[in-house]
Amino acid sequence: MNYGEIINKLKKQGCSALEIINNFICTGLLCRTTVNGRSMNPTIQDGERLLYNPFVGKINRGDICIVNVNEKLLIKRVIAIGGDHLTISIYGSVAINGEWQDEPYINPQETDGQSIDIIIPNGELWIMGDNRGHSTDSRSFGTVEVCDVLGVVIIQKRGGNDG
């Protein structure tokens, strides 16, 4: 049974959207976490709650993921996937396979003048925070394995105490 079938079954039983989400969380079909830090500003703020899908299928460029790096959970954006040729200029501009990327989601960045030119190995990802001047990411620790991705973020909610 897929998510759509489950949702339709719960709707037929009279469940509200909140009850459906709570059912997914209680059964482990969705997971939630709270953001601690500013590495994904302005996209995701410190204290926001996220729902993520722990059943990771294909991971795409641009996905925001929960990743286990050295026993620490990080929330980062996938910039490049296995097989991609990644170039980062000394000014912080990103090119994938020779095409410069428009990244409207990033904070104006501070750069350290470090350029990067790498081909991402198959089964690995290059991840970065949107707040490039304040993010520990692949620029520090290199690529991460796809198997280290715990989930892909599907919903974010700002503040509040409603669970």
Compute the distance between CA of residue 110 and CA of residue 129 in angstroms, rounded to an integer.
13
Examine the residue annotation and report whether 135 is marked as an active-site residue of this protein.
no
Compute the distance between CA of residue 76 and CA of residue 63 in angstroms, rounded to an integer.
8
Examine the residue annotation and report whether 76 is marked as an active-site residue of this protein.
yes
Compute the distance between CA of residue 72 and CA of residue 140 in angstroms, rounded to an integer.
14
Of the residues 58, 76, 89, 138, only one is catalytic, namely 76
Compute the distance between CA of residue 56 and CA of residue 125 in angstroms, rounded to an integer.
14
Which residue matches tokens 């700002």?
158
Of the residues 39, 72, 93, 138, only one is catalytic, namely 39
Q: Which residues are catalytic?
A: 39, 76
